[in-house]
């Protein structure tokens, strides 16, 4: 692994396809030979130079800008060469091939996905949370997510984690010192206000956890499945939420045979909405498969919109079928997954019962209330400017920190006899925090994170 990290690497750094500009990036030691071969002369540090990029025979492949960033003042912390050429795929492939040819003697090879950013992490240019924020900024599907990723990339999230870690380190120092002088232990901890420090750390941790949950929601969104009997208006509701005719809508029961999915934004939060086949008993083999797939989607949902038809609400058969579906939802869904009852076709039956969530997918009446309800169910709080992008692993790590700190509070309250356990809980809490920024990370975790990046980044 370390030997591979020492290899110089090269890749096309721009997205596949045609574009006005394309970039080929080279990073590593001893790349002067590559610079000389492509550019014909050395380059001034951090100064863009317009010149021809030449092949082995001296013929120009293209003309463009070349930049040399000497280590450690570069993205990766290594010597970096960037060639900015015209963005045709053939031109960029020719430039990349020429770089690899010129760098053969120094072991120049193609970069793996995320390897440039991984080197930035390994060379202490960024921490792991910032590295993940780079990928999240690239993948951001909403403006709020992009702004939050930019805040994480600038180090705001890492600073919060470092502040918590520093508090834990200080407490560990107090406890470890106390263990070395057992005859002073209770008075020593009281004088240092260890209890007050731990309570303050707990309060700060709760604030960070809340902002992190919001950041994870911005990145991941929630999966919402629309379920209900045939002809309740599920496809019409999807179309209304998406603002486009995505699903086929007809008066014929069973029109929807397979799922139709669309991601919408509500206040910057991605909501992955899935329309499914109407739930009923069916002897039609194709429709039965669609219904089976509908239940499979329901079972993996973060929330279920149980859509009812106001125009049929008083019919005994319809009521019985809705009751059966509700019972099956209760049986198949875990308690944490909310089921939101929504009554459709308000345009035909304007006298809906008070207190119910009623709407018209046809006219759009009531959609605002539904969007608000979805945000409420997701746990979103309208404070995107204070949120940094986060991932599920960050939330899980902070939950472990919270559990260890809670045990530490209990051990501190028990005083002298549990100081060893207090020290251990503080150590475990610090380790969990270190996983977020990469101060302590397993190699397999790094492999998973950086393999999800695009090549050239």
Strands of the sheet containing 9-12, edge to edge, are 49-54, 60-69, 80-87, 19-27, 9-12, 109-110
Q: Would you list which residues are annotated within the binding site for Mg(2+)?
A: 235, 256
311, 316, 320, 325 alpha-carbon torsion, rounded to 10°: 0
- The values of phi and psi at residue 269, to 5°, are -90, 125
Query: How many whole angstroms separate alpha carbon 46 and alpha carbon 67?
Result: 6
DSSP string computed for 368-400: HHHHHHHHHHHT--S-GGG-----HHHHHHHHH
> Which of 437, 457, 445, 303 has its CA nearest to residue 371?
303
Q: Would you list which residues are annotated within the binding site for (6S)-5-formyl-5,6,7,8-tetrahydrofolate?
A: 25, 82, 125, 457
Q: Which helix (H) or strand (E) holds 12?
A: strand 9-12
From the CB of residue 422, how many other CB atoms can be counted at a distance below 10 Å?
A: 26
Query: How many whole angstroms separate alpha carbon 61 and alpha carbon 63?
Result: 7
Query: How many whole angstroms separate alpha carbon 23 and alpha carbon 390?
Result: 29
Q: Would you list which residues are annotated within the binding site?
A: 25, 82, 125, 231-236, 250-256, 275-278, 457
Q: Would you list which residues are annotated within the binding site for GTP?
A: 231-236, 250-256, 275-278
Q: Would you list which residues are annotated within the binding site for K(+)?
A: 231, 250, 252, 255
Query: How many whole angstroms separate alpha carbon 227 and alpha carbon 163?
Result: 45
Angle at CA 89, nearest 5°, toward 87 and 95?
85
Q: Are strands 9-12 and 19-27 parallel, antiparallel or unpaired?
A: antiparallel
């Amino acid at each position: 692994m370390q030997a591979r990290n020492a290899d110089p690497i090269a890749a096309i750094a721009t997205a596949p396809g045609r574009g006005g500009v394309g970039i080929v990036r080279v990073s590593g030691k001893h790349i002067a030979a590559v610079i000389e071969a492509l550019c014909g002369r050395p380059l001034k540090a951090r100064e863009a130079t317009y010149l021809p990029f030449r092949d082995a025979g001296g013929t120009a492949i293209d003309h463009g800008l070349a930049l040399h960033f000497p280590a450690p003042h570069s993205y990766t912390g290594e010597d970096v060469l960037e060639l900015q050429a015209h963005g045709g795929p053939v031109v960029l492939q020719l430039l990349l091939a020429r770089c690899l040819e010129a760098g053969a003697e120094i072991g120049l090879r193609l970069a793996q996905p995320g390897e440039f950013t991984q080197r930035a992490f390994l060379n202490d240019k960024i921490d792991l949370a910032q590295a993940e924020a780079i990928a999240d900024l690239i993948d951001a599907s909403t403006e709020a997510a992009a702004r939050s990723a930019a805040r994480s990339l600038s180090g705001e999230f890492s600073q919060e984690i470092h502040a918590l870690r520093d508090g834990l380190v200080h407490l560990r120092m107090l406890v470890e010192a106390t263990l070395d002088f057992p005859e002073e232990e209770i008075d020593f901890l009281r004088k240092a206000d260890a209890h007050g420090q731990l309570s303050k750390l707990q309060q700060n941790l709760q604030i960070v956890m809340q902002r992190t949950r919001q950041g994870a929601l911005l990145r991941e969104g929630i999966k919402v499945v629309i379920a209900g009997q045939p002809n309740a208006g599920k496809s019409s509701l999807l179309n209304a939420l998406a603002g486009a005719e995505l699903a086929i809508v007809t008066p014929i029961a069973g029109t929807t045979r397979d799922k139709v999915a669309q991601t919408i934004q509500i206040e910057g939060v991605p909501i992955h909405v899935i329309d499914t086949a109407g739930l009923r008993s069916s002897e039609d083999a194709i429709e039965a498969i669609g219904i089976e797939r509908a239940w499979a989607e329901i079972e993996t949902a973060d929330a279920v919109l149980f859509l009812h038809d106001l125009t049929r609400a008083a019919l005994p058969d319809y009521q019985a079928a809705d009751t059966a579906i509700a019972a099956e939802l209760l049986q198949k869904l875990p308690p944490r997954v909310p089921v939101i009852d929504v009554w459709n076709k308000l345009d035909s039956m304007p006298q809906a019962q008070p207190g119910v969530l009623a709407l018209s997918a046809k006219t759009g009446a009531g959609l605002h209330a539904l969007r608000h309800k979805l945000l409420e169910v997701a746990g979103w709080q309208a404070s995107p400017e204070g949120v940094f992008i986060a991932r599920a692993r960050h939330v899980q790590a902070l939950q472990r920190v919270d559990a260890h700190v809670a045990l530490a509070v209990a051990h501190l309250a028990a005083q002298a006899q549990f100081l060893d356990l207090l020290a251990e809980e503080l150590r475990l809490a610090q380790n969990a925090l270190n996983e977020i920024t990469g101060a302590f990370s397993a190699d397999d975790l790094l492999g998973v994170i950086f393999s999800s990046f695009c090549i050239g980044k």
